Amino acid sequence: MKEGLHPKVKTVVFKDISCDFQFLGTTTLDSKETVKWTDGKEYPLIKVEISSASHPFYTGKQRILDTEGRIDRFKKKFGTKSATGK
């Protein structure tokens, strides 16, 4: 392999900002923030918006959208036209 061609892989702490969940992993991303992990070492901190701790597929908690309200608002705004023209 050529020298300097591939990025360096580092151990970092990923923090899910939506539920304050942290885990240790590896990445090629850089971060200026650091955090002390449970082993006493300082690691770069990468903030993520969603992880397995907050994703609906893994947690089983799914958000229900207000589809009925949206449909009613659409019908009220644009009306319903029938095929007979009435």
Task: Tell me the whole-structure pTM to 2 decimals.
Answer: 0.60
Residue 86, in any domain of the structure: no
Residue 83, in any domain of the structure: no
Cβ 61 vs Cβ 69: under 8 Å: no
Residue 82, in any domain of the structure: no
Residue 22, in any domain of the structure: yes
Residue 14, in any domain of the structure: yes
pLDDT at res. 72:
77
Domain extent, residue 51, equals: 10-77
Count of domains for the chain: 1
Q: Give the model's confidence band at 41: pLDDT under 50 very low, under 70 low, under 90 confident, else very high.
A: very high
Residue 4, in any domain of the structure: no
Residue 60, in any domain of the structure: yes
